Amino acid sequence: MKSASLQHYLNSSNLDPALKTVAQKVFAGKRISFEDGVLLFEKGELGFVGALANFVKEQKSGNYVYFNRNFHVEPTNICVYTCSFCSYSRLIKQKEEGWELSVEQILDKIKKWDDKPVTEVHITGGVIPKQDLKFYTDLFRKIKEHRPDLHVKALTPVEYHYIFKKAKVSYEEGMKLMKEAGLDSMPGGGAEIFHPEIRDEIAGGKCTAEEWLSIHEAWHKLGMRSNATMLYGHVEKYWHRVDHLERLRTLQDKTKGFNTFIPLKFRNQGNQMSHVPEVSVIEDLRNYAISRIYLDNFDHIKAYWAMIGRGTAQLALNFGADDLDGTIDDTTKIYSMAGAEDQNPALSTQQLVDLIKQVGRTPIERDTLYGVVKRFEEEMA
């Protein structure tokens, strides 16, 4: 059903006819084009794109909003790469500020969660030669031996590309080895902005867009799932964002292996891009909305609260997002080091449930693959 606000926009005589055509496509369940995407970014005002995105969100997931119970482990914050947006990268030159965990130290961190009802461990960090193919296959095996039901969501194509190249194995062979060792899914990081005009400038030297997409494709072909991200709001133009979304939509048509898309707002503290201003909350919400409209073959859009703060995350639930990620429990440093709202990101399950209920949505605790762990409908009445 079209919302009243959307009807209002469509009836408005002031509405740009080209925008009206895009809205009609969205209502009819038709895919919007690259040009339509650019038009939405250039001319779609917040209320308009929000109403369209909310329509799409409610078609896909009704009133539900998902979250999970997870924690992060960052095996190292030292990195051979020097992405200019990253608040880790400078640490390669100041190793004393860095950490480098062994397999046993990572296991010890994971064991601290033994008596807690978490369903997922999210493992990612910098790239260093020591943490190679054997390191990670040993780690995944040991995690599974210790706690077989804990979902291991680990590493991105940035790490895998480096690890497989060093071990001289193909992406297909490498991902098969990771699956056999116990990897359950891949998080969405390392995507940044795919187009080389921007990627070379902010993330030169690490895997290319084609390599990032090929590793996800190899993983999906094994019947496995992963996420995708986009780091937006820095030096890219709107059409670079649409190009990024287009490449993801094309691969998703082919494999259907992506679970969720996570827009990541560029934060400018403590990195080489501190002179680049951060975009406004209005731009964040427009970006959620247009991503939701464009990625018609993605089931979920995640508003990562640790990055944008709890208030903006709540707003995003009316602009296309249907997922808030997890409890996290202060186990990730990547955003607090870059100036994110939450310097000590942690939310209890009850706090997450309350955040969702406060905006009139129905919370569902999910596992990583969106299986229902707990419904909270009964408490909504």
81 touches ligand SF4 by CB under 6 A = yes
List the x/- string, 86-105, binding to ligand SF4 by CB under 6 A: x-xx----------------
Contact pattern for ligand SF4 over residues 187 through 216, marking x by CB under 6 A: ----------------x--x----------
Q: Distances from the Cα of 265 to the Cαs of 191, 281, 286, 317, 338, in angstroms?
A: 13, 10, 12, 16, 11
Collapsing DSSP to helix, strand or coil, 155 comes out as coil
Q: Are 189 and 229 in contact (CB under 8 A)?
A: yes
H helices, E strands: number in the chain: 15, 11
Looking at 61, 119, 214, 271, which residue binds ligand V47 (CB under 6 A)? 271
Distances from the Cα of 333 to the Cαs of 60, 75, 161, 178, in angstroms?
Answer: 32, 12, 23, 25
Among 85, 171, 194, 212, which residue interacts with ligand V47 (rule: CB under 6 A)?
85
Q: Which of residues 37-66 bind ligand V47 (CB under 6 A)?
A: none
State the minimum distance, in angstroms, from the CB of residue 262 to ligand V47: 5
From candidates 37, 44, 75, 126, binder to ligand SF4 by CB under 6 A? 126
Among the candidate windows 24-32, 63-71, 77-85, 311-319, which touches ligand SF4 by CB under 6 A? 77-85
* H or E element in which residue 47 lies: helix 46-61
Task: Give which of ligand SF4, ligand V47, none residue 263 binds (C-beta under 5 to 8 Å, depending on kind).
Answer: none
Nearer to ligand V47, 32 or 101 (CB): 101
CA distance 57 to 320: 5
- Should residue 304 be labelled a site residue for ligand V47 when binding is judged by CB under 6 A? yes
The residue count for binding ligand V47 (CB under 6 A) is 20
Site for ligand V47 in 213-242 (CB under 6 A): 227, 229, 231
Please give the full DSSP string across 281-344, using - where no structure is assigned.
Answer: HHHHHHHHHHHHHH-TT-SEEB--HHHH-HHHHHHHTTTT--EEEE--TT---TTGGGT-S-SS
CB atoms within 10 A of CB 350: 8
Nearest to 291 by CA among 254, 252, 248, 341: 248
Q: Write down the least CB distance from residue 35 to ligand V47, Å.
A: 27
Verify binding: residue 87, ligand V47, rule CB under 6 A: yes
# residues near ligand SF4 by CB under 6 A: 12
The amino acid at 270:
G
> What Å distances lie between residue 54 and 62, 224, 364, CA to CA?
10, 29, 18
Which residues neighbour 167 within 8 Å (Cβ) at sequence distance 6 or greater? 132, 133, 174
Q: Phi, psi at residue 230, to the nearest 5°?
A: -145, 125
CB of 271 to ligand V47, least distance (A): 5
39 or 337, CB closer to ligand V47? 337
Binding-site ranges for ligand SF4 (CB under 6 A)? 79, 81-83, 86, 88-89, 126-127, 158, 203, 206
Binding-site ranges for ligand V47 (CB under 6 A)? 85-87, 187-190, 192, 227, 229, 231, 262, 264, 266-267, 271, 304, 325, 334, 338
